[in-house]
Structure 1
Amino acid sequence: MDDYREAIASCCKQLRLSVNLAENAMIQEGESHQEYVYNLFKEELRYRKACRVAKYTNTAGFPYETNFSAFNASEVQFPSDLTLDSLKSLDFMKSGNNIVMYGGTGTGKTMLSICIGIAACDKCIPVKFFRTAALVNQLSEAHEKGSLSALHKKLNKADILILDEFGYVPYDRTGAQLLFDYLSEIHEKKVVILNTNLEFSRWVNVLYDEQMTAALIGRLMHHCHLILFPGENNRLRESSINDLFQTREGGKKRGK
């Protein structure tokens, strides 16, 4: 059996096939030669897709992994033309729509965007996830080193760009301009998912320039779904610190 394993592995190498095929050849079954070959190739295709999905997921840059089954959408306000199921099936991408998620800190924006990103990776769609400040820093560093084109080329490998925590910290003017330039470059070429706790009227406080701010909002919202997160901070609500706070507040009220 070992001789056959080595011989099949050698053939796979010459045919530029995965050595995994040789391993599966030793354990695969079938009631006929044809069924055996079919089962062998079917398993190889499953293995290759699993490897691609793992590669896309590992290189996307997600801070953690999660999925839609763990997401509570009860406090999320979706526009009339968008549902959670349509997000799962990535219908927004098929129509070339961006997504802007607006709401307070800890209300689920990051989690939902990761759920979408993981769903895309499962379909072998390349994704890049960034905290916006981190991307701005990378753009600024690349600009200083003269390697901005190389960074753009790397970013352009993704079909979906997720920008988390937009506006949580102000960016320097050069960084803001570089971010604007790149988002303008990929307008209607890539799908952008942007999470923010800033209403549009306050974006100028982050980007500094009113015309640039208006242009960025216009391009993002040209084809876009706006998802609202009006709920309270889920992390605080679920923490033991919040339980302690409520206990103390209840004691104060009884003391009065």
Structure 2
Amino acid sequence: MPAQDQPAARRSGARAGRAVARPRRRRRGRRRSRGLRADRESRTVNKHTTYQQLRGHLAYLKLTAAAEQLPAALEAAEKAKPGYTQFLHDLLDVEVAATRERRLASRLRLAGFPSTKTLEEFDFTAQPSVDRRLVDELATLRFIEEKANVLAIGPPGVGKTMLAIALGLKAVHAGYRVYYTTAADLVARTSRAALEGRWQTTMRFWNGPQLLVIDELGYLPMPGEAAAHLFQVISRRYEHGSIILTTNRGIASWGEIFDDHTVAAAILDRLLHHATVLQIDGDSYRMRSHRARLATLKAGLNHPDEGGEFSRSHLGNSHDR
């Protein structure tokens, strides 16, 4: 080949070599792109699998609230970038709150309160005989820790049941096991258990709550066997669990309730040994409310222009019924 043609030939060969090499580089680039895509897809699949496994673990451990909160928690974590400890704390905090709510609802259901009354609702000004400081001390629930008792004495309608329920409700919210019953129902259930051969099981039931509220002792007489059954419940709980007991009868007349002074003395001995006595006097809330409604009604009748005609008409219809 002529010398002058050699550089041109080499340049032509180099260009040809480069032209041939370029497609190989493009193929390597395509393979690299496919590899990156596959790697991303693999990571996505693995991430999804891990998420499903995590949900499964939470469900298996019965951490249902945490499992439900997981998607929102992960989304928030993507933005806030919390540490591992903080993320786990936030997720479990949801589960703990849900568990507390479920347990509170369960304790309230098992307590069997006939109504929900709080200490904040109690009108201390209407019942000045109630020692507010003493009630505030009972509201600390220290008496439950000490396995002591509360005896609320007073005529019907002065707020004994309301105070007993309010203290019981506060105990439930504090995490204690509480059960409410009337004295008549307690005696009926223990008598039935004795007849059906379930005495020991029933005694374990009455001994179970940390606080047992026994309402309305003294409204009905408890002769013989009934008194013995109540004594058994109180005796088994003595220094093992607290009792709040309400009664309309003074301590001196308990022999009349049980028709047996010996049983009455034995019950009082165990109740009063570690007890706070709330003596409540005054008018009945129900009678006071009745008088207030009656006064309002009379005021309406005396002022026809302010609704008296309606009141007369309403009274006439009520009488007809």
Q: Do the aligned partners of residues 76 and 161 (structure 1) sit closer, same or farther apart at CA in structure 2, a change above 3 Å counting? A: farther
The answer to whether the 8 Å contact 1:127/1:162 transfers is yes
Instruction: Please say which of residues 20-29 and 213-222 is displaced more in the overlay.
Output: 20-29
User: Please, which runs of 5 or more residues in structure 1 have no aligned partner?
Assistant: 252-256
Match of 1:12 among 58, 71, 76: 58
C-alpha deviation, 1:185, in angstroms: 1.4
Instruction: For 1:244, give the aligned amino acid.
Output: L
C-alpha deviation, 1:97, in angstroms: 2.0
The answer to whether the 8 Å contact 1:5/1:26 transfers is no
C-alpha deviation, 1:193, in angstroms: 0.5
C-alpha deviation, 1:6, in angstroms: 5.5
Instruction: For 1:195, give the aligned amino acid.
Output: T
Distance 2:280 2:48 in 1: 59
Partner of 2:287 in structure 1? 236
Distance 1:34 1:226 in 2: 51
The answer to whether the 8 Å contact 1:98/1:191 transfers is yes
Match of 1:26 among 46, 53, 71: 71
Give yes or no for the alignment of 1:113 onto 2:164.
yes
The answer to whether the 8 Å contact 1:5/1:23 transfers is no
Give the root-mean-square deviation of aligned CA atoms.
2.5
Q: Which has the higher contact order (CA 8 A, sep 6+)?
A: 1
C-alpha deviation, 1:83, in angstroms: 2.5
* CA offset digits 1:156-207 (Å, max 9, x no partner): 2201010000011112421111111121111111101000010112111221
- More helix by proportion, 1 or 2? 2
Partner of 1:135 in structure 2? 186
Distance 1:246 1:165 in 2: 31
The answer to whether the 8 Å contact 2:207/2:233 transfers is no
Distance 1:163 1:85 in 2: 21
Distance 1:209 1:119 in 2: 35
Distance 2:109 2:274 in 1: 29
**Matched residues, percent identical?**
25
Give yes or no for the alignment of 1:190 onto 2:241.
yes
The answer to whether the 8 Å contact 1:9/1:19 transfers is no
User: Please, which runs of 5 or more residues in structure 2 have no aligned partner?
Assistant: 1-46, 302-321
The answer to whether the 8 Å contact 1:126/1:160 transfers is yes
Q: Secondary structure at the match of 1:129?
A: strand
Match of 2:261 among 205, 210, 225: 210
Larger radius of gyration: 2
Partner of 2:20 in structure 1? none
The answer to whether the 8 Å contact 2:55/2:70 transfers is no
Give yes or no for the alignment of 1:83 onto 2:83.
no
Match of 1:174 among 221, 225, 242: 225
The answer to whether the 8 Å contact 2:178/2:212 transfers is yes
Distance 2:275 2:59 in 1: 47
Instruction: Please say which of residues 150-159 and 104-113 is displaced more in the overlay.
Output: 150-159
Number of residues paired by the alignment? Answer: 246
Give TM-score scaled by structure 1 length: 0.87
Instruction: For 1:20, give the aligned amino acid.
Output: A
